[in-house]
Amino acid sequence: MKRIKQISVFVENKPGRLLDVVEVLGSNDIDIKAISLADSSDFGIVRLICEDPESAYKVIAKNDFTASLTEVLAIAISDKPGSLAKVLRALKESGINIEYMYGFSAKMKDYAVMIMKVSNLEETIKCCISNNIRILSESDIKSVV
């Protein structure tokens, strides 16, 4: 499996709501691997990568949050100047549009990880393979992150 599951949570833009999300996960022993907060004027979307996305999603939904599971790619990018550009160029040349992206630190020697939501998953996977770009799987996330 080349794709991993991200949990997206709808939050109103008011103090403490992000904390509520994180606390719910924490009190259920769910480890957050990566988090990003996208905001508009009156609401935000919290995007999360967790070890066991299915049960994390269940916990979130059970606590009355509006949430969804989305397929995204976790791409390993070598930790050298210009390597992100190299990946993005490859995607551009395949006509792939990135909807959103965020990075997180990984315990992987010489690599950083970028989470990407793309316009065409299949195309992106093919493009990465042909360009020798490493995509992390769910089990990679568990072991390396």
Partner 1 sequence: MIYDNEIETLPREALEALQFKRLQQTLEHVYALVPFYKEAFRKANITPSDIKSLKDLHKLPFTTKDDLRDSYPYGMFSMPIDQIVRIHASSGITGKPTVVGYSKADIEEWSQLMARSFVACGVTSKDIIQNAYGYGLFTGGLGAHYGAEKLGAAVIPISGGNTKKQIIIMVDFKSTVLTATPSYAQLLADTIEEMGLLDKINLRVGVFGAEPWSESMRQKLEGKLHITAMDIYGLSEIMGPGVAIECEAKEGLHIWEDAFIPEIIDPDTQEPLEDGQEGELVITTIKKQAMPLIRYRTKDITKIIKEPCKCGRTHRRIQKILGRSDDMIIIRGVNVFPSQIESVLMEIEGLSPHYQLIVDRQNNLDTLEVQVEVDSKIFSDEIRKLQGLQNQIQKDIKDILGITTKVTLVEPRTLLRSEGKAKRVIDKRKI
Q: Which residues of 109-128 are buried (b: 16+ CB within 10 A; e: fewer)?
A: eebbbbbbbbeebeebbebb
- Letters for 64-103 (x = contact with partner 1 by CB under 8 A, - = none) are xxxxx-x----------------------------xx---
- Rounded to the nearest whole angstrom, what is the least distance from the CB of residue 76 to partner 1 in the complex? 22
Token digits of residue 63? 């606590």
Query: Which residues does 57 contact at the CB level (< 8 Å), separation at least 6?
Result: 5, 7, 67, 69
- Letters for 101-120 (x = contact with partner 1 by CB under 8 A, - = none) are ----------------x---
Task: List residues near partner 1 by CB under 8 A.
Answer: 6, 8, 10-12, 38-40, 42-43, 45, 47, 61, 64-68, 70, 99-100, 117
